[in-house]
Structure 1
């Protein structure tokens, strides 16, 4: 290790310190570039795919109306979340928050609001699918259209009120000077951080447990059908359809990849184990992962459903013919 004596007595500057600072700055710059690229790509895909899927969802008649309501809630929350990302996107590319204290608070409320609505809409959709598979005969009486609309409306209202009161009024964000940048950061975390972690962990675990049970039920049903076919024709049973199980694995894997980092980051932030700028970069990275969940939901819930794929293909074909007729005439 090289040491360089300074002009002041008793002070020695080590080259290791300089190297560590350079390495840390290089890592921060690399992470910042990654976040920028991921954010732009995710916003583009969300704004492109989610409106298309909302229109497609209206054209599908084979899906139960109650399920369509929960899917529309999930899609709309993902779309709103991507539109609200215009605010932090300006901060990422400008290097500082330029929009003032009021919009800093607005950003704090909306980012938590629509991320929260996204995970709770996913929970509602999971509960709907769980009831439909575990109680197929009672499902029409348990989950009516009126009841599903009431559940979705109540969820949006409750999450909106909690975010506005807890984050907009009593838990404001402020524009602070951190590492030579004016950044939109939270003043303090206190009990809100622990509450957020608790609710997230409970919600994610509930979704994972229900999907695990759905996978077991689907597997047992497939085996029973295969056994009945074998007993009926005296030949080998049909191959068990593992598509539903594969879809469930994709759903749970995506949920873990996009949401668990946010839980870990919230736990670390609540213990103040990061420097403010490192905490900011970690927050932006985990928020971008949550944003990516918006277009991944479309890929999973829509494009893996044959009826929705056919409806989307028909919709795009109609638009193509309409444009051709308009330009030809």
Structure 2
């Protein structure tokens, strides 16, 4: 008996074959342990950090209210992604599909829904940062609190409706009972190509905007260097260095977490059946994508001094509250 796996998240197929197994068991076992450890660690960090950052964000007054709305949207979407991974980890640790037909369909919808919400929320936050950098004087009139709320609400509603209509209504995933294990089977058609296309367009848009932001920051640093005669341009160099470092971290994180999954989907779409090791490799790329949830916390929260101070104040208040409760 040989177990084969499809490229979608949480989709498995088990077939009876008599062919020779050419897989290295040691490699498969090592990869399985690595995937499980990274998945559990990523889920723990996401569940711990994202709600904490939502509480922290409310206490910060130095960040513009519109930006706080977009940051909250990104954090909430990363937190919601944990709901999907509860289903995915059930199959990963059990080695087979233990859930029914309904949750099989839900698994397929949520994998695209929360992933789309995360990357689209990141796109909106990037657009917000781009407007702040490129049009700082016009920003208050362009991006109001009311408009930012409408943008977030509309994007969540549109993405949710789109994913439900495209990936959920036609029942493209079912649990097969023809094999030794209950397995969730998915079909491969134009919808997979559409998901990859939209992800590529979104990621490229983010890269282009940050490339333009880098050029703006560089020109701004040069102008400061020319005007800052006493400091010999050191102020401009610090601004340019900090902006460049931030952009490298953001784009580098996108490359590490998103690109492997996009490349995998492009490679495996023509061939729907894969071996156990290939399934684990696919799950590894999914775990990298899942890690984007807690990496966003480091990039957009913990690297900000005001947010770090607000976090320390929040934890201090909670600690004092617990002490008073236990003492009394």
TM-score norm. by structure 1 comes to 0.88
- In the TM superposition, what is the alpha-carbon distance from 1:45 to its structure 2 partner? 0.1
- In the TM superposition, what is the alpha-carbon distance from 1:185 to its structure 2 partner? 3.4
Q: Does 1:203 align with 2:189?
A: no
Q: Which consecutive aligned stretches of 4+ in structure 1 deviate over 6 angstroms post-superposition?
A: none
- In the TM superposition, what is the alpha-carbon distance from 1:34 to its structure 2 partner? 1.5
Mapped partners of 1:221, 1:22: distance in 2: 55
Mapped partners of 1:79, 1:91: distance in 2: 20
The secondary structure found in structure 2 opposite 1:169 is: coil
- In the TM superposition, what is the alpha-carbon distance from 1:38 to its structure 2 partner? 0.8
Aligned to 1:95: 95
Q: Does 1:84 align with 2:89?
A: no
8 Å CA contact retained: 2:78, 2:293: yes
- In the TM superposition, what is the alpha-carbon distance from 1:208 to its structure 2 partner? 0.6
- String of CA shifts for 1:99-128, please: whole Å, max 9, x gaps: 111111111111211111000000000000
8 Å CA contact retained: 2:188, 2:272: no
Aligned to 2:119: 119
Equivalent runs, 1:306-317 vs 2, <5 Å = 306-317=305-316
- In the TM superposition, what is the alpha-carbon distance from 1:285 to its structure 2 partner? 1.9
- In the TM superposition, what is the alpha-carbon distance from 1:58 to its structure 2 partner? 0.7
The secondary structure found in structure 1 opposite 2:266 is: helix
Q: Does 1:135 align with 2:138?
A: no
Closer, same or farther: CA 169–276 of 1 in aligned 2, 3 Å: farther
Structure 2 stretches of 5 or more lacking a match?
1-18
1:238 to 234, 240, 249: 234
- In the TM superposition, what is the alpha-carbon distance from 1:288 to its structure 2 partner? 1.1
- In the TM superposition, what is the alpha-carbon distance from 1:175 to its structure 2 partner? 2.5
Q: Does 1:292 align with 2:288?
A: no
The secondary structure found in structure 2 opposite 1:271 is: coil
- String of CA shifts for 1:141-160, please: whole Å, max 9, x gaps: 11111111111111111111
Aligned to 1:21: 22
Mapped partners of 1:238, 1:225: distance in 2: 9
Backbone CA RMSD of aligned residues: 1.9
8 Å CA contact retained: 1:77, 1:118: yes
TM-score norm. by structure 2 comes to 0.88
Aligned to 1:249: 248
The secondary structure found in structure 2 opposite 1:21 is: coil
Mapped partners of 1:185, 1:246: distance in 2: 43
Mapped partners of 1:176, 1:305: distance in 2: 49
The secondary structure found in structure 1 opposite 2:228 is: helix
- String of CA shifts for 1:183-216, please: whole Å, max 9, x gaps: 3231x12110111111111100000111111112
Larger radius of gyration: 1
Mapped partners of 2:260, 2:159: distance in 1: 22
Structure 1 stretches of 5 or more lacking a match?
1-16
Mapped partners of 1:85, 1:110: distance in 2: 9
The secondary structure found in structure 2 opposite 1:98 is: coil
- In the TM superposition, what is the alpha-carbon distance from 1:277 to its structure 2 partner? 4.3
8 Å CA contact retained: 1:179, 1:277: no
